[in-house]
Structures are given as structure tokens and as C-alpha cells.
């Protein structure tokens, strides 16, 4: 099983070949690791629903103080 991709191999790879990778692969230039190639796959609707459900459950358990703190932090992120 291949454990790394060289820069030369990366130049020749198609999008389909990258998406077909079984997992994240280090990209090497000689002996140095210069990047990590991570194939992006679309999550299944079932997984998305499960994650959103867990988020909603966690939000329901938050105290009003925790919710206010989160909203304040998010508000700070929006300002330039």
C-alpha cells in the first residue's frame, strides 16, 4: 500500500484519482513532507442529519449564560 505521494506524482493526478485515495496522504519532496493531500467526500444525508441532531441536543443543554457567551463570541468574529 502506498504511504506517500511525490510532487511529480501529484502533478499527474486527476481529480478522480485524488478522490479515490483511501485516506489522507502526505506529499513528499525528496524526504521532506511538504503537504497533506486530503480527498474530500460528500457526507451522506444520514450522517449530516445525525450530526445536526447532536448539535441541537447539545444546544438544548446549554445554560442561558453559555448561550450568551457563544453569541457574544460569534458577534465579535463578524466585526472587521
Is residue 52 domain-shared with residue 73, that is, in the same domain?
yes
Question: pLDDT band at residue 80, thresholds of 50, 70 and 90?
Answer: low
Is residue 33 domain-shared with residue 55, that is, in the same domain?
no
Is residue 74 domain-shared with residue 49, that is, in the same domain?
yes
Strands 32-37 and 5-6: unpaired
Is residue 13 domain-shared with residue 32, that is, in the same domain?
yes
Is residue 52 domain-shared with residue 72, that is, in the same domain?
yes
Residue 78 C-alpha cell reads as 463578524
Domain count, the chain: 2
Residue 73 C-alpha cell reads as 463570541
Range of the domain at 13: 5-37
Question: pLDDT band at residue 77, thresholds of 50, 70 and 90?
Answer: confident
**pLDDT single digits (tens) 33-65:** 999 999 998 899 999 999 999 999 999 999 999
Q: Where are the beta strands (DSSP E) in 1-80?
A: 5-6, 25-29, 32-37
Strands 25-29 and 5-6: parallel
Mean pLDDT confidence for 15-23:
93
Q: Between the CA atoms of 61, 64, 65 and 66, what dihedral angle is there, to the nearest 10 degrees?
A: 30
**pLDDT single digits (tens) 1-17:** 789 999 999 999 999 99
Amino acid at each position: 500500500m502506498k504511504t506517500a505521494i511525490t510532487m511529480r506524482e501529484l502533478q499527474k493526478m486527476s481529480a478522480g484519482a485524488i478522490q479515490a485515495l483511501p485516506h489522507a496522504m502526505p506529499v513528499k519532496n525528496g524526504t521532506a513532507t511538504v503537504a497533506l493531500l486530503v480527498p474530500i467526500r460528500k457526507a451522506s444525508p444520514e450522517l449530516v442529519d445525525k450530526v445536526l441532531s447532536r448539535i441541537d441536543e447539545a444546544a438544548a443543554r446549554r445554560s442561558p449564560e453559555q448561550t450568551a457567551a457563544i453569541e457574544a463570541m460569534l458577534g465579535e468574529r463578524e466585526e472587521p
